[in-house]
């Protein structure tokens, strides 16, 4: 389907991580009706830290508790704040940590602030996993 200039569409964005939040904002700016489906109960995607671990680490038990998390407690970003900024939304230091590479908590706060400041929270349906679309 070709999009026509000036038309408004109902658009689904899957995930409220960095890419999903940016996509939702830009689509909304273009006048589309946006709904974001997020499996978790918060924004942040990869930056959501979870203290739980898989109940069976080899992953062979089909009844195991699956925990999606790639973070660890002391994780810091491998990019400085300036490189993680958006063109119109700078990633400024908001706590007393003088190091240029933010910890995962600070990145998560940045994404939460971004979602709140651009009114994206109202677009997100938390606790909704997309398992199939047609």
Give the phi and the psi of residue 69 in degrees, each rounded to 5.
-160, 130
Helix axes 18-29, 104-117, angle to 10 degrees: 20
- In angstroms, rounded to a whole number, what is the distance separating the alpha carbons of residues 48 and 40? 9
pLDDT, residue 42, reads 95
Tell me, what's the pLDDT at 66? 73
* DSSP assignments along 8-66, one per residue: --EEEEE--SHHHHHHHHHHHHTT-EEEEEESSSSS-GGG-------SSTT---TTSPP
Structural tokens at position 66: 């699956």
What are the domain boundaries of the chain?
A: 11-126
> What pLDDT score does 1 carry?
53
**For residue 3, what pLDDT is reported?**
61
The domain covering 11-126 belongs, at the CATH homologous superfamily level, to FAD/NAD(P)-binding domain (3.50.50.60)
Strand order in the sheet with 33-38: 10-14, 33-38, 124-126
Flag residues of the chain having pLDDT under 50.
none
């Amino acid at each position: 389907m070709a999009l026509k200039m000036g038309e408004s569409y109902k658009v689904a964005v899957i995930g409220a991580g960095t890419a999903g939040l940016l996509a939702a904002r830009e689509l909304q700016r273009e006048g589309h009706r946006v709904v974001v489906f997020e499996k978790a109960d918060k924004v942040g995607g990869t930056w959501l830290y979870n203290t739980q671990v898989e109940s069976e680490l080899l992953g062979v038990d089909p009844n195991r508790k699956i925990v999606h998390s790639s973070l660890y407690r002391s994780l810091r970003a491998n990019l400085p704040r300036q490189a993680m900024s958006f063109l119109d939304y700078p990633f400024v230091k908001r706590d007393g940590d003088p190091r240029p590479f933010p910890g995962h908590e600070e990145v998560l706060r940045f994404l939460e602030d971004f979602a709140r400041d651009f009114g994206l929270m109202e677009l997100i349906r938390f606790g909704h996993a997309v398992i199939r679309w047609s």
